[in-house]
Every structure is written in C-alpha cells, then in structure tokens.
Amino acid sequence: MAKEKSYEGFTEDERAAMKDRATELKKSARSGTSAKKAETEKQALLDTVAAMPDDDRAIAEALHAIVTKNAPDLAPKTWYGMPAWAKDGQVVLFLKPAGKFKMRYAEVGFSETAQLDDGDIWPTVYAVTTINPAIEKQLTALVKRAAG
C-alpha cells in the first residue's frame, strides 16, 4: 500500500493571508495622497472587522477603540488580512482572529517595533478568548506601552 504524503508547506489559510497581503500592497500603491491612503486603510480595517464572526468582531472593535483613544498616532490598516495598527508605516500591533486561522482563541500580537521590551524575555503575543473590562484594561496598558 502506498504511503500518503503529507504537505508541510503553507496551509490554505496562510496562502489566503498572503493573497490578502498582496492585495493590500497593490491598493496602497494606488491610493494616491497620504490622507487618501490613510482613509482607505482605515476603511479596509473597518470592513475586515465588520466581516468577522461575533466573538472576533467584539475583540477587534474593542481593540480598535482602545488604540483610537490611547494611541491615536497609530494608523489603522490591514496586514495579511488582519486588523493592524502602524507607526511610520511599520506595524506595531495586530489582531489575529481565531476564525481566520481556525484557532480556539484570537491573538493580539506586537511587532519588534512595539515598546514592550522587558529585560531579556517578554511576551509579544497574547491569547484573547473574550473581551470584558478587565481584559480591556490589560490591553489598554499594553497598547500604551507599545505605542511608546
């Protein structure tokens, strides 16, 4: 009997995310002025959030509100089809929705440009299963630190 080969490359979800990123780059190149580009990227984030399942959408909406209020210098955009916020064109934080990658929890992640350094080891991704006032408080503190 022939042994079945398993594919160890990118998953279907990962390939879809890469296609999303290619589309984002193309749209960004065609956006024109920086004000128009910023508005286009913000609308892309809002559209992405609106299309999410309820649990992911609640987390994304809360995170967007936290960033807008506490780190207004971070620009909303999408990054690999996920909500993200950037400073000077570099993604600082992003939300990896559970539904997009068929995971059991969403992840709020921070890039190396985030100001979260704490000694020789620190977390850069946080699992989030729900949103409530205590979690909003924790995310607010992280966003403030990350934005510098």
What token pair was written down for 88? 């000077």
In this predicted structure, what is the pLDDT of residue 139?
98
Number of Cβ within a 10 Å radius of residue 3: 5
In this predicted structure, what is the pLDDT of residue 53?
96
Does this model's pTM top 0.85? My answer is: no
| pLDDT tens track for 22-35 | 776 676 666 666 77
Instruction: Break the chain into its structural domains and give their ranges.
Output: 12-147
Any alpha helices (H) in the chain, and if so which ranges? Answer: 12-30, 34-50, 54-70, 133-147
Rounding to the nearest 10 degrees, give the CA dihedral for residues 47, 94, 85, 37.
-50
| CATH architecture classification, 12-147 | Alpha-Beta Complex (3.90)
Burial class (CB in 10 A: 0-12, 13-18, 19+), 35: exposed
Span of 14-28, 31-45, 77-91, 106-120 with lowest mean pLDDT? 14-28
Question: Which helix H or strand E contains 93, and what residues bound it?
Answer: strand 90-96
**Residues above pLDDT 70, as percent of the chain:** 89
Higher-pLDDT residue of 70 and 13 is 70
| Calpha distance 72→78 (Å, rounded) | 16
Span of 3-7, 11-15, 41-45, 54-58 with lowest mean pLDDT? 3-7
